[in-house]
Structure 1
Amino acid sequence: MDHIELSLTQSLDHCIKCNICTSACPVAAVTDAFPGPKYVGPQAQRFRHEGQPVPDASVDYCSGCRVCNQVCPTGVKIAELNARARAQIVAERGLPLRNWLVARAGLVGRMSCGPHAPLLNFGLRLSPARWAVEKVIGIHRKAPLPASSTYTFRAWFRKHRAPATARRQVAFFHGCATNFYEPHVGKAAIAVLEHNGFEVLLPKQQCCGLPLISNGDFKAATSAHEANVQALVSYARQGIPIVGTSTSCTLTLKEEAPEILALHSEDVQAVAAGTYDIFEFLRSLAERGELKTDFRPIERHLPYHQPCQYRAHRLGSPAMDVLSLIPGLVLEESHAECCGIAGTYGLKKEKYQIGMDVGAKLFDMVKRSGSDLALCDSETCRWQITHATGVTSKHPIEILAEAYGLEL
């Protein structure tokens, strides 16, 4: 048994049954379907052994938000234990078609993106179509499905002309959402990085694998992560930072895939150590006095939600720290535990309302702000916020590009 596997298994013995995780769990607070992290995590884990049935299938109602990990006073890796238990359920019972489909963000994105995207987007706004999708596949008729783009970010990048003034290099990990649904987020990131003197390199890449992990398909997740490591490790070895705009993707490269999938080769560790969320990276530049601060004032008061996956990086609030440098911009942090979508969790018919109930505190805060714009670092959280409130939601990098006066 390797050291990561051992640490996950041994961490349950540090559980002191204090129930802090259960009291903090946003899912257990809104539904009886999930008895709480302690019960389905370290408590149930003691009865999970290879070759034996999973004792409590309610673990599938864990959203993976990692709030339990953050509040546990003894460091039990509850979310990781729950992810392993869900994978055991999949191994025993198979992966339902709905879960197989939503776990493959890259495949769905490739099928959706292109000249046919407007027609597809229009069709998915029709109530009869959404009713049929719910009945046949099991994706809730009201779940926030993203609008597909008519072009991919990678296609745009191939035609992009970089300035000749670059002094340093970064490798950009765009993720599925930026490539197929939100190319404008990637364009904003490229503009900001180039403005700060970086040549942006675009490695080959697959889906980070988090949707596969979340749905218990560890075999496919392992293949995806190993392929990404193979594509990224040369950059890490050269000391070229790997920077991403999707905070869930960067967390997966850094920690989730290595820990949960028990992948700990030297190449995996090198990629993990060399990966940065974009605002983590920009804040480090600012701390060294290397970030350009030629900002135009933005006289706005905007609500900001830091996603669960960003808090799991344990970095503080990099986006707020960097955006605080923009004259006139005031951010109001949500302090909400979770938006409820949890990647693919809130799309599912049986979990949609749970997700909406989990995010109610956040949605109320955004509505009370009176703003027509909210900021959030996670794509699925942005889609959830807009779905629940009607308020447009943007990635903070877009505001930073605006402050720089950059044309996208």
Structure 2
Amino acid sequence: MGHLEDSLDQCIKCNVCMTACPVAAVSPHFPGPKVVGPQAQRFRHADQPVPDASVDYCSGCRVCNEVCPAGVRIAELNARARAQLVAAQGQSLRNRIIARAGLVGRLSSGPHAPLLNMGLGLRPLRWVMEQVIQIHRDAPLPPASRHTFGHWFRQRGQRRGLRQVVYYHGCSTQYYEPWVGQAAVAVLEHNGFEVIVPDQDCCGLPLLSNGDFRSAERQHRYNVAQLIPYVRQGIPVVGTSTSCILTLKEEAPELLDLTSQEVADVAAHTYDIFEFLRTLAERNELKTDFRAISRTLPYHPPCQLRAHRIGLPALDVLSLIPGLRLVESQAACCGIAGTYGLKREKYALAMAVGAPLFQFVRESGSDLALCDSETCRWQISHATGVTTKHPIEILAAAYGL
């Protein structure tokens, strides 16, 4: 577990991270990345209590990592410190629930989903939830789907193609937004791929974010075991949830210090879907039989996408669509940070962090905004009333699929 901790010695105390941190700017509870990260890390040891409970106010947005000129892994240091805090003090019922996205999704979706969604729309029930399990009454909880993406994919059957690709759908597409996965499958098949959807678990990011590293490691190892047979055949893995894909590629292996060859091979052959499509375009292998879409749309590249360090592949690919113009948000973060903004004590902070983004979307005058992250989309729609979509939905529409 050494290399992340070793990076703290590169800190030059320049305070760039303190200036850029969107949470420290709006919260008195979080003294800032430098203080909670490399500065506090020097006092953290496995055999003594974590000295600073304020680390739990780090949202994990990685803005500090992006701006650090010395390459200190501040967000990862904070995540490990939070895990140490959880190991010493235990985890609340609320955090245990929201960290298990796959389980919550399985219990929420199905024939009873409309009834559940109706219940979650009742203010008295949301008030009770806030009092009992401390999920804020106004938190953007997505409506569950009556039919899962997996059900749809099994019903329609797998279709042959000249090449193969594995699709990692993640919990949001499986249980809440199956249409995102349907659009991804349509685009990949249109470009000549046979899409394979293996068994898969939650990527583990909600568990990592809430400090339950042991459970996250079980989920990651399960996913690696399901994906490695395809990777060894040279079949790439792609996903529409940019946060899930970052977890498979980098976050879980680094935070959990997983160094097996299988973990490394899966990480090396896993791609954000637009990263994958952009590579096809660069090789002149991407079909460009697009219909014109004469629209100007606001686009927010979420924190987890920027953490991939791959630029803005969705912008690059969608720029090929005639008539379509995307205006990039310059906001640092939407504030939701996965499960962070759902919590009663952090909801107001999340809304304050996201305020510049919400203003950007409102001032665009558009009734539609694009974002690669599901929780960011739910947060933007919650705050602005504007419909949000994954960029893959626009690409599918341009293909006429």
What TM bracket, shorter-length normalisation? over 0.9
Quote the Cα distance in structure 2 between the aligned partners of 1:173 and 1:23: 36
State the match for 1:126 in structure 2. Answer: 122
Partner of 1:253: 248
The answer to whether the 8 Å contact 1:143/1:352 transfers is yes
Could you say what secondary structure the match of 2:376 adopts?
Answer: helix
Please show how residues 1-400 of structure 1 align to structure 2 within 5 Å. 5-164=1-160, 166-400=161-395
The answer to whether the 8 A contact 2:26-2:352 is kept is: yes
Q: Distance in 2 between matches of 1:73 and 1:168?
A: 41
CA distance in 2: counterparts of 1:248 and 1:375, whole angstroms: 16
* Aligned counterparts of 1:9 and 1:337: Cα–Cα separation in 2: 26
1:404 aligns with 2:385: no
Report how far residue 351 of structure 1 moved.
Answer: 0.2
The one-letter code matched in structure 1 to 2:355 is A
* SS at structure 2 position matched to 1:227: helix
Counterpart contact for 2:22–2:333, Cα < 8 Å? yes
d(CA) in 2 for partners of 1:319, 1:262 = 30
> What secondary structure, in the 3-state scheme, does the structure 2 residue paired with 1:272 have?
helix
SS in 2 for 1:359: helix
Are 1:205 and 1:231, in contact at CA under 8 Å, matched by a contact in 2?
yes
**Root mean square deviation of aligned Cα:** 0.6
Whole-Å Cα distance in 2 between the matches of residues 78 and 233 of structure 1?
A: 30
Q: Offset at 1:59?
A: 0.4
1:163 deviates by 4.3
Secondary structure, counterpart of 1:262 in structure 2: coil
String of CA shifts for 1:143-199, please: whole Å, max 9, x gaps.
0000000011001000124444x1100000000000000000000000000000000
Query: In 1, Cα distance between the equivalents of 2:265 and 2:330?
Result: 33
Contact 2:136/2:344, CA 8 A, preserved across alignment: yes
Q: Distance in 1 between matches of 2:270 and 2:60?
A: 21
Distance 1:81 1:352 in 2: 24
Give, in whole Å, the separation in 1 of the partners of 2:8 and 2:198. Answer: 38
The aligned amino acid for 2:125 is A
Distance across 2 between alignment mates of 1:342 and 1:92: 24
Q: Can you list the C-alpha shifts for 1:259-281, whole angstroms capped at 9, x where unaligned?
A: 01101100000000010000000
Letter in 2 for 1:201: I
Equivalent residues of 2:83, 2:210 under 8 A apart: yes
State the one-letter code of the partner of 2:199: K
C-alpha distance in 2, partners of 1:91/1:375?
Answer: 38
Alpha-carbon distance in structure 2 between the residues aligned to 1:303 and 1:162: 34
> Residue 33 of structure 1 aligns to which amino acid in structure 2?
H
Among all aligned residue pairs of Structure 1 and Structure 2, give the percentage whose two residues are the same amino acid. 72
Give the 3-state SS of the residue equivalent to 2:167 in structure 1: strand
Q: Which amino acid aligns with 1:44?
A: A
Residues of 1 paired with 2:232 and 2:222: CA distance? 16
1:32 counterpart letter in structure 2:
P
Q: Which amino acid is 1:266 matched to?
A: Q
State whether residues 225 and 257 of structure 1, in contact with CA within 8 Å, keep that contact through their aligned partners in structure 2.
yes
By how many angstroms is 1:238 displaced? Answer: 1.1
Query: Which amino acid letter does the alignment assign opposite residue 338 of structure 1?
Result: C
Equivalent residue of 2:327, what SS?
Answer: strand
Is the Cα contact below 8 Å between 2:158 and 2:196 reproduced in 1? no
CA deviations on 1:333-392 (whole Å, 9 max, x unpaired) are 011110000000000000000000000000000000010000000000000000000000
Other structure's SS at 1:69 match: helix
Q: Which amino acid aligns with 1:396?
A: P
TM-score normalized with structure 1 length: 0.98
Preserved CA contact (<8 Å) 1:99 1:215: yes
Does the aligned pair in 1 maintain the 2:159–2:195 contact within 8 Å? no
Structure 1: which 5+ residue stretches go unaligned? none
Q: Which runs of 4+ in 1 moved over 6 A?
A: none
Return the letter of the residue paired with 1:254.
K
Q: Note the residue ranges of structure 2 that are not aligned, 5 or more in a row.
A: none
Structure-2 separation of matches of 1:340 and 1:153: 27
Partner Cα separation in structure 1 for residue 356 and residue 230 of structure 2: 41
* 3-state SS of 1:302 partner: strand
Which one-letter code corresponds to 1:130 in the other structure? R
Tell me if structure 1 keeps the 8 A contact 2:300–2:329: yes
* Count of matched residue pairs: 401
Residues 241-295 of structure 1: CA deviation (Å, up to 9, x unaligned) = 0000000000000000000110110000000001000000000000000000000
**Equivalent position amino acid for 1:183 in 2:** P
- Contact 1:162/1:194 (8 A) holds in 2: no
Aligned mates of 1:182, 1:41 — CA distance in 2: 35
